[in-house]
């Protein structure tokens, strides 16, 4: 499981870096969630590209790959549960900070209901069209 700790420590260091904005945290979290899917696939397919220590252990002893796979699924679920606010509000952060690069289909307009802007989509189009 040393490989798993390496990946988690890498995320931890990224999240604790100096001068991080909330958008930086969101983007690091989002990237790690995608990496978790890759890690799970790596274990399910028994390639162990990202888990070299497990690959080495398999040659010397019996390792329950099923248990590791279950653990990875639980880890994915835990990240999803703990960071559910990022899932909901992360796209809004991207919009607020990098609106010119933002894809409006990623935005949950209900987050902006408090602004009472009826033509929000039209204003967004205008904003993206302006230089």
The tens digit of pLDDT for each residue in 73-91 reads 898 888 888 888 877 777 7
Task: Band the pLDDT of 3: cuts 50, 70, 90.
Answer: low
Q: Which residues touch 48 (CB under 8 Å, ≥6 apart)?
A: 42, 54, 55, 58
The tens digit of pLDDT for each residue in 116-128 reads 667 777 877 787 7
State both tokens at 15: 């999240």
Q: How far apart are CA 63 and CA 87, in angstroms?
A: 34
User: Is the pLDDT assigned to residue 17 strictly greater than 80?
Assistant: no
Q: Answer yes or no: pTM beyond 0.85.
A: no
The tens digit of pLDDT for each residue in 84-116 reads 887 777 777 777 777 777 676 777 777 777 776
- The pLDDT, as a whole number, for residue 61 is 85
Q: How far apart are CA 27 and CA 94, in angstroms?
A: 9
Q: How far apart are CA 7 and CA 31, in angstroms?
A: 12
Radius of gyration over every alpha carbon of the chain, rounded to an integer in angstroms: 20
Task: Band the pLDDT of 45: cuts 50, 70, 90.
Answer: very high
Tokens 């607020």 found at: 96
Cβ atoms of 102 and 95 closer than 8 Å: yes
Q: How far apart are CA 28 and CA 16, in angstroms?
A: 11
Of 81, 104, 84, which Cα lies nearest the Cα of 94?
104
Query: Per-domain residue ranges for the chain?
Result: 2-129
The tens digit of pLDDT for each residue in 26-41 reads 888 888 889 999 999 9
Mark 62-74 as b/e (b = at least 16 C-beta within 10 Å): ebeeeebeeebee
User: Is the pLDDT assigned to residue 4 strictly greater than 70?
Assistant: no
User: Is the pLDDT assigned to residue 2 strictly greater than 70?
Assistant: no
């Amino acid at each position: 499981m040393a490989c798993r700790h390496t990946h988690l420590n890498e995320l931890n260091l990224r999240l604790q870096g100096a001068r991080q904005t909330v958008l930086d945290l969101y983007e690091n979290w989002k990237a790690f969630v995608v990496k978790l899917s890759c890690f799970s696939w790596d274990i399910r397919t028994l390639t162990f590209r990202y888990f070299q220590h497990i690959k080495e252990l398999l040659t010397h002893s019996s390792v329950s790959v099923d248990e590791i796979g279950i653990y990875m699924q639980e880890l994915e679920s835990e990240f999803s549960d703990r960071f559910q606010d990022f899932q909901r509000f992360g796209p809004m952060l991207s919009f607020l900070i990098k609106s010119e690069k933002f894809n409006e289909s990623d935005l949950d307009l209900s987050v902006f209901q408090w602004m009472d802007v009826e033509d929000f989509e039209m204003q967004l189009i205008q904003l993206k069209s302006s230089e």
